Structure 1
Amino acid sequence: MSEYPKFKRECALEIEQMGDDPELARVTRSWMDRANRAKYSYHFEWMGRPIIQYPQDVLAVQEIIWSIKPDLIIETGIAHGGSLIFSASMLELSAMAGGPQDAQVLGIDIDIRAHNRSAIEAHPMARRISMIEGSSIAPEVVAEVSAKTAGKKSVLVLLDSNHTHDHVLAELDAYARLASIGSYCVVFDTVIEDMPDDTFADRPWRRGNNAKTAVWEFLKLHPEFEVDKSIQHKLLITVAPDGYLKRVS
């Protein structure tokens, strides 16, 4: 066995051990609850745009993109556009390394604010980005997005908009099927189910009504997807526990 596969095998064993360590899980959860009081995930940017993600999840998505080399990434939720810029930049690097040369990222948001749209459209990565303004679960939007997958060999789906159970479940029903076999549908903010009850007093989502409960319901009827536990065990700090759904069939 050459050195790299040997290294990867050792890493896999260490990651499994971390995932089985209840004390590590406890201190990680404690750290996250404390850091989230200061809106930890809001403080990072990608190429000059706020990304509003944990750096750990950004790195995980980078690994997925490099591995599957998608020619289309579908993202629900745009906000300041940092995630679109990130995805586009990864597609640019993938193209430089022999990946699809015309790969694109498609963002959907119910409200693309003018200043955010202008900043995204003026960005050097803009040539790989297109956007749709409208509800991600509106039939006409779902139809438009589905049409853009025609002829695509590898599609990655990232869901990060409204985090209520019903909305996320509707997004999963609409978009998970567009993920290619071997690719992923990543559902962000499943961590809401694990956070203190008073964390989201001003939002409609909460424990019992969030992205993770939607994932659990979705998986009951969709054996073609499995939770890739190795990712959350590797990251430890993640907003998407049980949210890295790999399409296996």
Structure 2
Amino acid sequence: MGPHDAFRAEVEHNIDGLAEDTDLQALSRLWVREASPYNWPYNFSWFGRPAIQFPNDAWALQELVWKVRPDLIIETGIAHGGSLIYSASLLALLDLCDATERGETLDPRQPSRKVLGIDIDIRAHNRQAIEAHPMAARIEMIEGSSIAEETVAAVRQIASGYKRILVCLDSHHTHDHVLAELEAYAPLVSPGSYCIVFDTLVEDMPAALSANRPWGPGNSPKSAVHAFLKSRSDFVIDKRIDRKLQITVAPDGFLRRVE
């Protein structure tokens, strides 16, 4: 076994241990619970825009983007735009790597990869900041409910021009809304790629933490994921991702398309 394979084997062994360590998993949930009142993910930005994500989850997305090499990332939920810009920068790096391998010069004005963001309310100051950002050429936005018939149709039309697609769902976190998003957008995911459902952790947190929200335990993204998978054989939960992360907003939320 060479040194690279030996290191990968060590990593897999570490993840096996994390998967069996129920005490550490409970401690991770406790940490998330205690950090939640402080809006911990609000503290982080990417290239100048608030991202409102756990850094661990952003790192996991980067690993998946390198693995899948998507040419389109679809995101529901835009907020301040940091996640869109993060995804766009990852795709820009893929384009740079491809151009380097081919011995070509990359033209940033004509990107081959794109991020498509959907939000029911793209506030003017956020839209202005996103459109003024250097990554803007890689970003397209649709304002409207992510589950409205006309929005889904527009997304499907755009997606038809791409081969490898990855989806991130992070908008309204009720069971019915997320289930409708999964039914609309999961079929666009390419085999071997992922649909990432964020904020599944709502299911594992005390109800008091979402008392002022229309979602909570039993009515959450995780309950939608489990309902969705009951009738599907083409997606599986990649549990090894949230096991290795431990601190994540998406336990059971990394769905890999297997067929």
TM-score relative to the length of structure 1: 0.98
Distance in 2 (alpha carbons) for counterparts of 1:197 and 1:140: 34
CA shift digits 1:167-194 (9 cap, x unpaired): 0000000000000000000000000000
Which of 216, 221, 224 does residue 211 from structure 1 map onto?
Answer: 221
What amino acid is the match of 2:195?
A: C
Instruction: State whether structure 2 residue 32 is matched by structure 1 residue 32.
Output: yes
CA shift digits 1:112-146 (9 cap, x unpaired): 00000000000000000000000000011101100
Percent identity (aligned):
57
Distance in 1 (alpha carbons) for counterparts of 2:215 and 2:25: 24
Task: Give secondary structure in 1 for the equivalent of 2:145.
Answer: coil
Q: CA deviation at 1:151?
A: 3.4
Pairs aligned (count)? 249
The aligned counterpart of 1:197 is 207
The aligned counterpart of 1:234 is 244
Q: Which sits farther off after the overlay, 147-156 or 174-183?
A: 147-156
Distance in 2 (alpha carbons) for counterparts of 1:20 and 1:151: 43
Unpaired stretches in structure 1, ≥5 consecutive residues: none
Distance in 2 (alpha carbons) for counterparts of 1:167 and 1:71: 26
Runs of 4+, deviation exceeding 4 Å: none
The aligned counterpart of 1:132 is 142
Instruction: State whether structure 2 residue 232 is matched by structure 1 residue 222.
Output: yes
Q: CA deviation at 1:40?
A: 0.7
Q: Which sits farther off after the overlay, 26-35 or 168-177?
A: 26-35
Distance in 1 (alpha carbons) for counterparts of 2:55 and 2:132: 24
Let me know the Cα RMSD of the aligned residues. 1.1
Instruction: State whether structure 2 residue 257 is matched by structure 1 residue 247.
Output: yes
Unpaired stretches in structure 2, ≥5 consecutive residues: 100-105
The aligned counterpart of 2:15 is 15
CA shift digits 1:31-76 (9 cap, x unpaired): 1111112111111000000000000000000100111110000000
Q: CA deviation at 1:96?
A: 0.5
The aligned counterpart of 2:127 is 117
TM-score relative to the length of structure 2: 0.94
Distance in 2 (alpha carbons) for counterparts of 1:70 and 1:5: 25
Task: Give secondary structure in 1 for the equivalent of 2:210.
Answer: coil
CA shift digits 1:80-131 (9 cap, x unpaired): 0000000000000011111795100000000000000000000000000000
CA shift digits 1:193-229 (9 cap, x unpaired): 0001100111100000010000000001111000001
What amino acid is the match of 1:39?
A: N
Which of 156, 173, 186 does residue 183 from structure 2 map onto?
Answer: 173
Instruction: State whether structure 2 residue 164 is matched by structure 1 residue 142.
Output: no
